[in-house]
Amino acid sequence: MEFDSEDAAKEFYDDYARHLGFVMRIDQCRRSEVDKRILSRRLSCNKQGYYVKMKDQYGPVRKPRSSTREGCKAMMLVKVNKSGKWVVTRFVKDHTHPLVASSRTCRTAMDHKDRKIQELTLELERQDKLCNLYHEQIITFLQSVEEETGLLSTKIEAAVKNVMEMEAEAKQQSNLQQAHLQ
């Protein structure tokens, strides 16, 4: 099968999953090392694989829960081809668990997650713009400080030169007075 976009492939597999009686999970992806765009995506049954507890690597576990993973192998792998189309390159149909047909027409849990992701993405974009603005302001400030430092340096050099000339002149007058007194 071929899809126009990654989202179209996700939508198809989600509809397929809902029809058959399992929940789709958006699984691994492979990205380009050049521009970081997604080159392939694996869409799986939510019971795919087994839960591996991370040893408090990311902080304490908030609420211990039983794992819903059962090692199911059902999945669909889609890759983007040279023409930009997303093509199914691997499909595993068989599940290792019973399927439960669902009459649900919407994915409220996923919708909630999608909304949260969208909110966080917008906040991240807003913070990124704010960081860029602060960066520009800091650069402008540093350039201003550099210019003022240059002007101040020139003024200090002139003042030091004037003081040295005045000291030399005062010394010369002192020497003339001493020579005059002798």
Cβ atoms within 10 Å of 21's Cβ, excluding its own:
12
Question: How many Å apart are CA 34 and CA 175, to the nearest integer?
Answer: 77
Question: How many Å apart are CA 52 and CA 130, to the nearest integer?
Answer: 38
Q: Are 47 and 22 in contact (CB under 8 A)?
A: yes
Is this structure's pTM higher than 0.95? no
Q: Give, in order, the Cα–Cα distances in Å from 31 to each of 4, 34, 79, 87, 114.
A: 18, 9, 11, 16, 21
* Tens digits of pLDDT across the chain (182 residues): 889 999 999 999 898 888 888 888 888 888 888 898 888 999 988 877 666 665 555 666 566 655 566 778 888 999 989 898 999 999 988 887 877 765 555 555 556 777 788 888 889 999 999 999 999 999 999 999 999 999 999 999 999 999 999 999 999 988 888 888 77
Domain ranges of the chain: 2-52+60-109, 111-181
Q: Which amino acid is at 54?
A: M
